[in-house]
Amino acid sequence: MHMDNIVGVTKKFKNSHPDLYEFIVFNIMSNVATITNFLVLWLGTGLLFNKIDGPFHWWFFDYGTAQGGLGGFLSFLLAYICAQIVNFIVQRKVVFGSKVQISQVIYIYILTVVVVGIISVWLPPYIIKQLAPIIGVWAATVANVVNIVVQVVINYPMMKFVIMK
Mean pLDDT for each consecutive 10-residue tract of the chain (165 residues)?
Answer: 76 91 90 92 90 87 84 90 90 87 89 87 86 92 86 89 89
Asked whether 126 and 118 are in contact (CB, 8 A), the reply is no
Q: What single-letter DSSP state applies at residue 164?
A: -
Task: Indicate the pTM of the whole model.
Answer: 0.75
CB count, 10 Å around CB of 83? Answer: 27
Asked whether 42 and 56 are in contact (CB, 8 A), the reply is no
CB count, 10 Å around CB of 97? Answer: 9
Helices (H) and strands (E) in the chain, counts: 6, 2
The residue extents of the domains of the chain are: 3-163
